[in-house]
Amino acid sequence: MGHSCQHVCVSNGNSYRCKCLQGFVLNDDKQTCSIRGAGAYGQGESVHKGDRKRKNDANQNRESSASVDVCALGHDCQHTCVSSSSSYYCTCPTGFVLMEDKRSCFKANDADADGSASLDYCMLGHECEHICVSDAAAYHCECRRGFVLQEDRKTCSKKRGVDLFFCA
């Protein structure tokens, strides 16, 4: 199951807690982060993602005084960080797919027949002794020439009666 942390999720036993990147403070909801020193959103205040207004206890709206490049303050995106109001989101370059953690990118297979891209499941890690081949929804193992795949579908053994010559 995923988490609802805006920045960093830290496992602690059967649960988790959220942390913020350097330059940010954890909001009272214990999930979202605000820029430190830019008017932390304390108790009774809330941030409305997508607009630049803050609401305080007296219900007085005021404009955010400074536009801050949140990505420049630090981020945990593997590839590209895009500033968005008081937060940010991560994107991946062409040929990569954004993972469920919304930070990591993995190389996509060449476009499928319908033009969409799918994950290269071998890049996520595998247990193949020789060759990993990414399928539409998983991966399977294959062996180099002169070897056969074992019952575990992961390891390979030399075919009987075959002499192998490898280049050094």
The answer to whether residue 115 is domain-embedded is no
Mean pLDDT of 125-142: 84
The verdict on 37 and 78 lying in the same domain is yes
Extract the tokens encoding 34.
Answer: 């605000």
User: Domain span at residue 30?
Assistant: 8-91
The verdict on 13 and 80 lying in the same domain is yes
The answer to whether residue 32 is domain-embedded is yes
pTM of the model: 0.33
pLDDT of residue 155: 94
Mean pLDDT of 134-162: 86
The answer to whether residue 134 is domain-embedded is yes
CA nearest neighbour of 4 among 30, 40, 23: 30
The total number of structural domains that make up the chain: 2
Mean pLDDT of 123-136: 82
Beta-bridge mates of residue 105: 98
- Give tens-digit pLDDT for 44-101: 223 333 333 333 333 343 444 456 777 877 778 888 888 876 778 888 888 777 777 7
Q: Pick the more confident residue, 93 or 35.
A: 93
The answer to whether residue 98 is domain-embedded is no
| Domain final position from 91, 114, 135 | 91
pLDDT of residue 6: 77
The answer to whether residue 3 is domain-embedded is no
